Every structure is written in structure tokens, then in C-alpha cells.
Homo-oligomer: A and B are copies of this chain.
């Protein structure tokens, strides 16, 4: 018996996916974690009723969070991932042979356990020996991590409510800056510029107090909002449009979505966003 799994943007819109079966449901210490078998999107993960990822559309999100920073960062040997419990982000990171070590700090072990069991097509790199998985608070982790210990930091968190709230403030960004090398880069998901425009603009504004160069970028994730989704790239010295050719050439063969034209195109911002961002 089919049923709808909904996410509602209060007073604006609702996106629903037709599901056939609920495969998993658990209230963790932090949030309600559910997995559904759907007709059009394969298995779908929701947290507190918000779409997190699906087997069919996950590459739009994971490739676009990871590949733009990983293909322009001068060095990518040591990577820190905050969040990313479904495993898609570390899979993308670990596809790069130059990566020597990934520390993934996810606050909710229930998300990881559920993803390992039900979303194994997404998290295909759990067994990679370069991965150090820590079930811990990302804010505490970066507070205590040594300065200059990472080349890349990726923030793969949910909306700024619940456990992810503290990941959207300047103190946290300052710690991220500190744990990065001088030529390090950060990328994060930064919400829907259409449905969460204020949050999107505020992220750029807050990051600007910490990093020299901020480049929001705009892409498409079908199950997030109404499809238009933003990420933000931050660094002190790195131009995101200068690519490391050998890495991109490899990813163009491998990726479902990402390629060098998509890389360049994703940094093209609509006039409306440029005006909002004052750039």
C-alpha cells in the first residue's frame, strides 16, 4: 500500500515522495531517523521528517559538496568531514587517491548504523583503511584538534535546528579555519537560496568574518527544497576556478554529475543572489 513521505516548508510548499514501505524508524538521542523504500527514489533517508538523501538523487548532493573543493585544493592529503552520517561524502572524498586520511565526525551513531545496513549503495567506503570514523560532537572535535592539521574541511550537516545548530556560528567557523593549513579550503552545504534565503545569506556573511575569500555555489538536489540548493566554498588563498587537472580528469570518468564544465558553471550565481550577497 503506497503512502506519501512529506517534507513541508511552512506556509510555502510541500514535497512528497511515494513510498512503499518503511524499512527503519528509530528515535536516537538526537533525532528521529527513518528510512523508506520508495518507487521513484529507491531508499530514502529522513531525519526529523526532512529528506536527507536517497539512492537515486544522492550523487547530486555528495558530488557537489565534495568535488568542487577536492579538485581545486592545492593539497588534499588530510580531510575532515563533520556530519555526513550516510557515508556518501566520505565515499566521494576517498575516491581521490591523493587522500591519505579522512576523519569523519558524526554526532549520531544511529544514522551511521542505519545507513550501513540500509543504504550500502551510498556509503561504499566504510571499510577503507584511510577512514577514521568518530561518533562524536563535531564542535568539540574542531575545538580540540591541532592547528593546521587538515587540508580540507567539509561540513555535511542538516538544517540549523537540532544537533546541527551550533555548526552555523562564527566560533565554529573560526575553529575550522584554525585546524586548516594556510592553503586549506572549506566547503559546506548552505541551504536553499530560495526557501531559506536568510540562512544562505547569513552563512556567507558569517564566513566572511573568518575567511578571506567566500564563493557560494549553486546546484540542483531534487529532494532538497524545490531542487535549487547552495553550497559555500571558503578559503584564504585558493581560487576555486583553478583546477588540478589530473584529479578532474579522473572524476569526470567516475562521477554521475560532476565534470569541469559543471564545476565552472556551479560558481555562476544568478543576479538575484549576487545582489543579495552584495557581490
Chain A residues engaging chain B, CB cutoff 8 angstroms? 2, 4, 9, 11-18, 39-41, 57, 59, 194-195, 218, 220, 222-223, 225-228, 252, 255-259, 261-262, 264-272, 274
Contacts and interface: CB of A to CB of B under 8 A. Distances in A.
A220 B259 CA distance: 18
Contacts of A4: 14
Contact of A14 (B18, B265, B268): B18
Contacts of A227: 220, 222, 225-228
B9 A13 contact: no
A257 B271 contact: yes
A213 B4 CA distance: 42
A222 B196 CA distance: 13
A138 to B, nearest CB: 29
Contacts of A264: 264-265, 268
Contacts of A9: 40
Contacts of A259: 268, 270-271, 274
24 contacts: A2-B11, A4-B14, A11-B40, A12-B40, A12-B41, A13-B15, A13-B16, A13-B18, A14-B15, A15-B226, A59-B272, A194-B222, A218-B220, A222-B225, A222-B226, A226-B226, A227-B227, A252-B271, A256-B270, A258-B270, A259-B274, A262-B269, A265-B265, A265-B268
A14 B264 CA distance: 32
Contacts of A252: 271
User: Which 9 pairs across A and B sit closest by C-beta, in order of nearness?
Assistant: A227-B227, A265-B265, A12-B40, A261-B268, A265-B268, A222-B226, A14-B16, A257-B270, A220-B228
A11 B15 contact: no
A55 B13 CA distance: 15
Q: Which of A13, A257, A262 has the most CB of B within 10 A?
A: A13
Contacts of A13: 15-18, 40-41
A140 B234 CA distance: 55
Contacts of A39: 11-12
